[in-house]
Amino acid sequence: MMVKPSCASLSIQGIDPARLPRHVAIIMDGNGRWAQGRGFERIYGHRRGKDSVKAIVEMSREIGIQYLSLYAFSEENWGRPAAEVKALMRLLKRYLTTELDRMMKNDVRLLVIGNVKKLPADVQKALKVSVETTRRNKGLTVTLALSYSAREEIAAAVRTIAKQVERGELVPEEISEATIAQSLGTAGIPDPDLLIRTSGEVRLSNFLLWQVAYTEIYITETLWPDFREAEFLEALRQFQARERRFGRVVDGRADQARLRAAN
Ligand code: FPP
C-alpha cells in the first residue's frame, strides 16, 4: 500500500514543496471507458471516479496546494442519456452530504462555478449548504465546475460589463483584462498553474478558456478512476521540470521565481 506523502516526504518523491502549483485544475475524463472496459455500466465508473475525487482533494490538502478546480459536469453533459445524468446528480449530492464533515475537519472551502440554476433543486440545496458552511475555511479551495461552459462564462461576463457601461459606471476604454477576470465565475481565484486531463484526450473541452492562457498542461493516458496519488505526484514532478516563461525570456531560477510571483 502506498504511504500518503506528507510535505516532508515530498522531497523524497522528487518534488520541491516550495514550488508546488498554487492552483491545479483537472478535466476528469474516462469514467465511462473505465467501466465499459471492465464490463460494467458507465455509472460504476463515475462512482469510482468519485473515489479519485476524494483521494485527490485529500492529497492536495495534505501537501499544501491552495486551489483545486474540478470539471465535474459540463454544459454539454446535459446531452447524455437521462439515466446517466440522474445517476451523476445523485452521486454529486451524496458526495456533498457525506464529505461535508471531512471538509470542515480538513479546512476545505467549497466553491461552485457554472449554471447552477439548471441543476436539480436538491443538488442546488446541498451545494448551498456546503458552500455556506465551508466559506470561512482557508486550507484548500475546491471549485466544482457544474453545468459549466467557459464560453458561456465569458458571455455572462460580457453581459455584466455591458450593463455597467449602460449604467454609466464604466467607460469602454477602462475595460481591461482585470475587468474581465473579475466578472468571471472564478473572480478572486488565481489562474491555474497546472491543468491535468486524464484519459489521453488532447483538448480543453470548454473548460476555463480565459483562465488557462499561461497554464502548463499535463495529459495522461490514465483514466480518471485510476488517477490516484502516484499519478498526481507524477504530474507535479513534470510540472516542476518545466520552465515557465509566460512569453518572456527567463534567465535562471531567480527570474523564474520573480515571474511566478508576478503571475
Ligand atoms: C468524464 O468521464 C467524467 C464526467 C462527465 C463526470 C465526472 C464525475 C465524477 C468524477 C464523479 C462525481 C464527481 C464528484 C465531484 C463527486 P466520461 O463519462 O466522459 O468518460 P468517457 O470519456 O470514458 O465516456
Band the pLDDT of 1: cuts 50, 70, 90: very low
- What does the pLDDT average to over 142-151? 98
- Is the pLDDT score of 4 beyond 60? no
d(CA 185, CA 157) in angstroms, rounded, equals 8
Q: Which residue has the higher pLDDT, 243 or 151?
A: 151
Gyration radius from the chain CA atoms: 19
pLDDT digits (tens, 9 = 90+) for 226-260: 999 999 999 999 999 997 777 888 765 555 555 55
Every domain of the chain and the residues it spans: 24-240
d(CA 22, CA 10) in angstroms, rounded, equals 16
pLDDT of res. 262: 59
Kindly report the pTM of this predicted structure: 0.92
d(CA 73, CA 92) in angstroms, rounded, equals 10
pLDDT digits (tens, 9 = 90+) for 178-214: 999 999 999 999 999 999 999 999 999 999 999 999 9
What the block records as the C-alpha cell of 81 is 442519456
Specify whether the backbone of 7 is left (phi greater than 0), alpha (psi in -120 to 50) or beta: alpha
Q: Give catalytic status of residue 107 as yes or no.
A: no
Cα–ligand 1 centroid distance for 200 (angstroms): 14
Q: For ligand 1, pick from 27, 31, 102, 112 the residue to mutate: most ligand atoms within 8 Å of CB.
A: 31
d(CA 243, CA 12) in angstroms, rounded, equals 21
Structural contact between residues 215 and 193, judged by C-beta atoms closer than 8 angstroms? yes
pLDDT of res. 60: 98
pLDDT, the chain, mean: 94
Cα–ligand 1 centroid distance for 17 (angstroms): 30
For domain 24-240, give the CATH superfamily.
Answer: Decaprenyl diphosphate synthase-like (3.40.1180.10)
